[in-house]
Amino acid sequence: MLTRSGSTPGSGWMKGVSDRSTSGPADPKMSRPFWLAYIAFMALILVILPIVQRRALSSYAPSGFRVYESSTRWAGLPIFAAGPAPVAVVAIGGQPRGIIAIGGIAVGLVAIGGLAAGGVAISGVSLGILALGGLAIGWKAIGGAAIGYQALGGVALGGYAYAGNGIAYGYHEASGRQKERLL
């Protein structure tokens, strides 16, 4: 990693988010658009996305167990599949597997669900290269509890850990307001 003389190691954007999260919306130094974007993003993830997903999957309730698989194929996989355990390029269901997997226990390059594993994982419990979720484990982890080489969250553990008002334990660098320590 290249650094300028006098600068500290670590990711600049993660430090910026950590500093912004400690300032709070009442801080006059912080811009209003940041907090409006943050609230809109959380509303999208926590309110709108579950409603849309529930409506999209309502016809695939356990009573029906209807399965849909598109006839168009790419690399031997259907382009779209939905059902209890679909495998496709875009898979939506209970236990989807695919390049884009959306559902309960999702596994894919982009995985979104209650439990998710993949390159980009967004969920309650996520495991991936870029993990976003309540419990995020990955190379770059962002969440309530984040574990990874670069971790940002309420409780952050890793090489570079940034916790805002939370607790940070980092091997190379740690930045947290309640407790901060280098491992």
| Domain presence at residue 5 | no
**pLDDT at residue 164 is higher than 90:** no
Taking the CB of residue 102, how many other CB atoms lie within 10 A of it? Answer: 24
| Domain presence at residue 167 | yes
Burial class of residue 26 (count of CB atoms within 10 Å of its CB; 0-12, 13-18, 19+): exposed
| Domain presence at residue 135 | yes
Report CA torsion sign: 102, 107, 112, 115: positive
| Domain presence at residue 15 | no
Which pLDDT score, from 0 to 100, does residue 109 have? 92
The number of folded domains in the chain is 1
The distance of Cα 22 from the centroid of its chain, to the nearest Å, equals: 20
Q: What is the average pLDDT across 136-158?
A: 91
Q: What is the DSSP string of 90-119?
A: EEEESS-EEEEEEEEEEEEEEEEEEEEEEE
Note whether 96 and 83 are within 8 A (CB).
Answer: no
- Tell me the pTM: 0.61
Note whether 62 and 52 are within 8 A (CB).
Answer: no
- Which residues partner with 102 through β-bridges? 92, 112
Q: What would the pLDDT profile of 67-87 be if each residue is shown by its tens digit?
A: 788 888 888 889 998 888 888
| Domain presence at residue 44 | yes
| Domain presence at residue 91 | yes
Note whether 7 and 172 are within 8 A (CB).
Answer: no
Highest average pLDDT, of 7-21, 111-125, 158-172, comes from 111-125
Residue 136 domain boundaries:
29-182
Note whether 136 and 124 are within 8 A (CB).
Answer: no
Structure-token pair, residue 54: 């529930």
Structure-token pair, residue 136: 């995020």
Which pLDDT score, from 0 to 100, does residue 138 have? 92
Residue 98 to residue 86: CA distance in whole angstroms: 8
Phi/psi-derived region of residue 103, left when phi > 0, alpha when psi is between -120 and 50, beta in every other case: left
Degrees (nearest 5) of the Cα angle 66, 69, 72? 165
